[in-house]
Amino acid sequence: MSLRAVELLNKVEASSKRAEPLKFEIGDTVNIHTRILEGDKERIQIFTGVVIAQRGGGTRETFTVRRIVAGEGVERTFPMHSPKISKLEVVRHGKVRRAKLFFLRDRVGKKTRLVERRATKKDTPEVPAS
Amino acid sequence: MPVGLLGRKVGMTQIFDEAGTAVSVTVIEAGPCVVLQVKTPERDGYTSVQVGFGEKPRRLATRAERGRMIDLGGKRAKARELQKTPEGPRPGGEPPRFIKEFRLKEGEAAPAVGDKLTVASFAEVAFIDVVGKNKGRGFAGVMKKYNFSGLRASHGTQRHHRAGGSIAAHATNRGWSGRIKKGKRMSGRWGNEQVTVRFLKVVRIDTENNLVLVRGSVPGPPGAYVMLNQTAKKVPVPQVAKKKKK
């Protein structure tokens, strides 16, 4: 694919990307607010869980969130730029050392918890000294 | 019905529609296409429009390709007049890289030579047909080309694991010819053939960048030249919205 083609594709994709990127990191516990259409009514559903993976690029970028429901592991993969995601809140930062947390799938009970990471420099925007 | 367009396949991507659902789209860079020649029943026996797309460096163009773009003055024009075979008007500009003809229906208004056709003419079109050449696979065996099963891996099979098996026998089904039947599927060149994909939904038209976005795939690799037409299929009348599923 030529460079020009990539540029054109980027232009096309720009229209489908969200203006402000969702801010979270792998290992974070997040609340995802999704718009759901029921008949003619729209309501918001919240899915809470740990972000265990992020993949893809451009408009195809997705992230996977895992949680335990009634003792059963449930994973949902969301398109990063989906307009159906109205809001994403980070509840808790997990201390992790890898990009994919698939090891959580093999863990049960208390072991599924991640050690909380306290706010670091990265989380608080630097205030320029005046 | 607008005259068709010529374009290049840019590539595929994914966008979100108004409802928020992801749609896989092929991006086609189409136009501006120069009208090179308009064929009339009086002179050519049928009606059509010849269009060109892209630019070819003059050093690569043949004399004929260069000549048809410019107005010939001087001696040649005079000679033609004397022969009483007037040429049609010439569009000017650079020789195009890709040239195709679009037939017009009777009574359909033809654009003038030198006119530029752009994606804006497709603004009202909901579905299109795309004609292109699919990816060339070269010399392909029957397993790849026709999904034959091949022969088994062991039990005495030697050097024939991907072979197609028997192609004819018993005087070819008692036809007394003993020849292989016509159309027997065998290995050989595959791909690089003209393919038409009908009824592709136009998702978006970008007049600024000359882009047409259609839902689904289009033949050929990125960069392949394609022809776009308003669909020849009957476009269904939009039904009254059915009861929506959850």
3-state secondary structure of B58: coil
Q: Which residue has the higher pLDDT, B196 or B242?
A: B196
The whole-angstrom separation of Cα A79 and Cα A65 is: 11
- Do strands B33-39 and B98-103 pair parallel, antiparallel, or not at all (unpaired)? unpaired
Residue B79 lies in a domain: no
Residue B225 lies in a domain: no
**Per-residue pLDDT tens digits for B81-130:** 676 655 667 777 788 899 999 998 877 778 888 888 999 988 888 999 99
Per-residue confidence (pLDDT) for residue B246, from 0 to 100? 47
Q: Region B37-51: what's the mean pLDDT? A: 87
Complex-level ipTM: 0.77
**Among the partner residues A1, A35, A79, nearest to B11 by beta-carbon distance:** A1
Q: Describe the strand order of the beta sheet including B33-39 as a list of residue ranges.
A: B98-103, B48-53, B33-39, B116-117
For residue B174, the enclosing domain spans 137-190
DSSP A65: E
In a 10 Å sphere around its CB, with 0-12 CB exposed, 13-18 middle and 19+ buried, how is residue B112 labelled?
A: exposed
Query: B16, B26, B208, B209: which to substitute to probe chain A, counting the most A Cβ within 10 Å?
Result: B16
Q: Is residue B242 within 8 angstroms of chain A, CB to CB?
A: no
Q: Given the structure tokens 């776009």, which residue do they identify?
A: B228
Question: Cβ contact (<8 Å) for A5 and B222?
Answer: yes
Residue B149 lies in a domain: yes
Distance from CA of A44 to the nearest CA of B (A): 14
Q: What is the pTM of this model?
A: 0.81
Residue B147 lies in a domain: yes
Q: Give the domain ranges of chain A.
A: 3-112
Split into its structural domains, chain B has a count of 1
**Among the partner residues B10, B22, B244, nearest to A8 by beta-carbon distance:** B10
Question: Cβ contact (<8 Å) for A12 and B213?
Answer: yes
Residue B129 lies in a domain: no
Task: Provide CB contacts within 8 A for B150, sequence distance 6+.
Answer: B142, B143, B161, B162, B163, B164
* CATH fold label, A3-112: SH3 type barrels. (2.30.30)
Question: Cβ contact (<8 Å) for A16 and B11?
Answer: no
